[in-house]
Structure 1
Amino acid sequence: MFRRRESVPFSFVSEADRFRSNVTPPPRERASVSQMAARSLVGLTIVAGLVGSLVLGMPALSPQSESRPQQTEAATGR
């Protein structure tokens, strides 16, 4: 294939993966006590909802046993 020997006008695009910024981002603010309490309360509510749905849903997932007693072949054989 034909290759051009000219310099690429946008050579900085090929060097983008090696670019390092000299600007540092500002430090993150620490969460207040009320924000941490709210986050933990939301997390506990989600976990409690999942556990509750699992507890309430387990009877529906279990195989149902028949309410009438099973008859053996000896009892039904006439």
Structure 2
Amino acid sequence: MLRRREPIPFAFLAEADRFRSNVAPPPRERASLGQMAGRWLFGLTVVAGLVGSLVLGMPALSTPSSTPTQQSQASHGN
């Protein structure tokens, strides 16, 4: 790659990908028992809501296959 002789604005950004730090980030703090239980409860609530909406919505989406349609006498008019 060719090096440019004139200074490039924000040249430090181009060199930032080569920089490696020798400082390790602090270890992540473990979640408490209450936080873990809350996450599980939230996940189960979301899954139960999806399953419930599917169970309640399936009858509305299904078409009656063997039931004949009956028309009322009022719809024929006199």
TM range (shorter): 0.5 to 0.7
**Structure 2 unaligned residues grouped into runs of 5+:** 71-78
**Partner residue, 1:18:** 18
Residue matched to 1:54? 54
Shift of 1:9: 5.3
CA distance, structure 2, for counterparts of residue 5 and residue 16 of structure 1: 19
Q: Which residue of 2 aligns with 1:5?
A: 5
Question: C-alpha separation between the residues in 1 aligned to 2:63 and 2:20?
Answer: 61
Identity of aligned residues (%): 74
Unaligned runs of 5+ residues in structure 1 are 69-78
- Given the two structures, how large is their TM-score scaled by the length of structure 1? 0.66
- State the alpha-carbon separation in 1 of the partners of residues 32 and 51 from structure 2: 29
Aligned residues: 65
- Deviation at 1:55? 0.4
